[in-house]
Chain A
Amino acid sequence: MKQNYIYSPALATGFKCKVPLKDACQLFIVNGKVQGGISPFVLDLKDGENLSETLQLISVRNEQHLGDLEYSEAFHFGKNSRGKVVMCSHTFSLDDFVTRENVNIILESGARAEFVVMQNEHNKAIHNAKFSIKMADHACLTLVFLSLHGGEINNTVTVDMNGEYSECNLGGLYLTDSTQLMNNTIDLNHFVPNCKSNQLFKGILDDNGITRFFGRINVAPGAQKTEAFQANHNLLISDKAKAYSKPQLEIYADDVKCSHGATVGRLNEMELFYMRTRGIPSAEARLLQQMAFAYEVLEKISNEELRERMQSLVEKRLRGEFSQCKNCSKNCC
């Protein structure tokens, strides 16, 4: 399983990203098969290794493999290594897809990693993404989910903080319309003292969209000086959308700082009126409010170009347009 990523220029042209990110290396996984490399995908960073380019993994499903598909990706960050990864998943045909993606991330002592996971599929696609994360001491992880489109998306994240002074930052933005279903299940385990975790999940729900957030923070006996925060906020745009939120704290240590908060609400009417008195039409004002709501999650993305691109995808999505990058014919990022 020791295979570093390889950039393969010999890709089928149909899958080529026409507007790649600057300083990014792209790798395609088509129907679970790594293009130009060995499957399943493995990234193994040596101790002290610094990934100079952002690794962009573009997972695509198309009509060549219908029905169920399961594949995995493994990331091993050696001691004090650094890296940024963008994982995009797309469907290039409108068939019924069920995808099970298993992602394993291991951060050794002092490793720092940032993951942005963008899910942009279609209404008949079901995507179950399971993230298992293990963090050693002084490791630092940021993981941001952008669930833009999909019939059903289930993100299940388990984080085991096994070493002291590690820090885990989770973000999620989920947007639903029609009858889309999006669930985020987080299991965050503080097994040792002196670790920090932060979760921010936000949803904008239109039409008959349904979302669920189950977030559990477990502070094990003896995990003193833990700081664990969790927030889940949902904005309902229609009267029929439903957001379920279930925060759970299980704390077995007595010297910790922990908090959780969950809200389900509507757009603020006074803000709306204020904007309209300045001549901003109602629809545009609502969009500005939603973008402002979403931005708090997007802010977690440190790469400015990527953040701006994601922001524009979110804006297109909220406007009801196809979420695709400028100059690109595919619904890619």
Chain B
Amino acid sequence: MLTIKDLHASIGDKEILRGINLSVNEGEVHAIMGPNGSGKSTLSAVLAGRESYTVTSGEVIYEGKNLLELTPEERSWAGIFLGFQYPIEIPGVSNVNFIKAAVNEHRKQKGLPALSAAEFLKLMRERMAYVEMDSSFSSRGVNVGFSGGEKKRNEIFQMAMLEPKLAILDETDSGLDVDALRIVATGVNKMRRPDNATIVITHYQRLLDYIVPDVIHILYKGKIIKTAGKELALEIEKKGYDWLINE
């Protein structure tokens, strides 16, 4: 589904990604871990098409297409979803109008008619329940006045509405208490299917107790320095990253 080959990216004249190689297949869950500043969030931003990063070399092939040529919205239509580490607040745009615009645009791209008000409401209620979100959130401005946990739940709710093929969740666990973490993880697990894939970026092993990965990659200074099975997370939880860096 996704193949990243020797990806280099920088912001300004600072190189952050220094040759990433990664391959994700349908049905898989990959976790990317690593110390602060290793380039985890940069990788997710580059995959989603943030323009402030420059890809200097390498390629990203997604479902046979050159992903780097697509605009952020085209990537979304193609089935890529980025769950933000710090979801953006948009005062004045209600959550419901925001997600309705997104869903109907996706449908338009697929040649489907816009959902009727009743159909949309039904779908929204159903998907809000995935993350135990109260319906009062729909009329509020996007993420405005939401707590950290509510913002992350809203990310997963949006993901549930858009049904992506490849979800990239950037530190979705940061700032969550145990209950919120469980709710968010349950939401993600509900959406797992044999034909989609998830990349989970995280600092901590605890998220991986809930969203069990097939593969774990350790990112350090812009490169993947180790790839192993899920047991690697436990080892990192005990020993930290130093032993890997020194290896």
- Enumerate chain A interface residues (CB-CB to B < 8 A): 270-271, 273-282, 284, 288-289, 291-293, 295-296
Contacts and interface: CB of A to CB of B under 8 A. Distances in A.
Interface residues of B, number: 30
A278 B98 contact: yes
Given A282-B71, A288-B97, A277 B48 contact: yes
B49 A277 contact: yes
Contacts of A295: 92
Given A274-B88, A277-B48, A278-B76, A288 B71 contact: no
Interface in B34-93: 48-51, 71-73, 75-77, 81-82, 84, 87-88, 90-93
Contacts of A293: 92
Interface stretch (B18-26, B101-109, B121-129, B173-181): B101-109
A291 to B, nearest CB: 7
Interface of B: 48-51, 71-73, 75-77, 81-82, 84, 87-88, 90-93, 97-99, 101-102, 105-106, 109, 141, 158, 162
29 contacts: A270-B88, A271-B88, A273-B51, A274-B84, A274-B88, A275-B101, A275-B102, A276-B76, A277-B49, A277-B72, A277-B81, A278-B76, A278-B98, A278-B102, A279-B73, A279-B77, A279-B106, A279-B109, A279-B162, A280-B101, A280-B105, A281-B73, A284-B101, A284-B105, A288-B93, A289-B93, A292-B90, A292-B91, A293-B92
A256 B93 CA distance: 34
A275 B92 contact: no
Contacts of B81: 277
Nearest to B97: A288
B93 A292 contact: yes
Contacts of B48: 277
A277 B105 contact: no
A217 B97 CA distance: 37
B105 A288 contact: no
A280 B71 CA distance: 11
A274 B105 contact: no
Given A271-B90, A275-B101, A293-B92, 13 more contacts: A271-B88, A273-B72, A274-B87, A276-B49, A276-B71, A276-B72, A278-B76, A278-B98, A280-B105, A284-B101, A284-B105, A288-B101, A291-B93
Nearest to B94: A292
Contacts of A275: 90, 98, 101-102
Contacts of B73: 276-277, 279-282
Nearest to B92: A292
Nearest to A295: B92
A275 B76 CA distance: 10
Which of B72, B77, B97, B162 has the most CB atoms of chain A within a 10 A radius of its CB? B72
B143 to A, nearest CB: 9
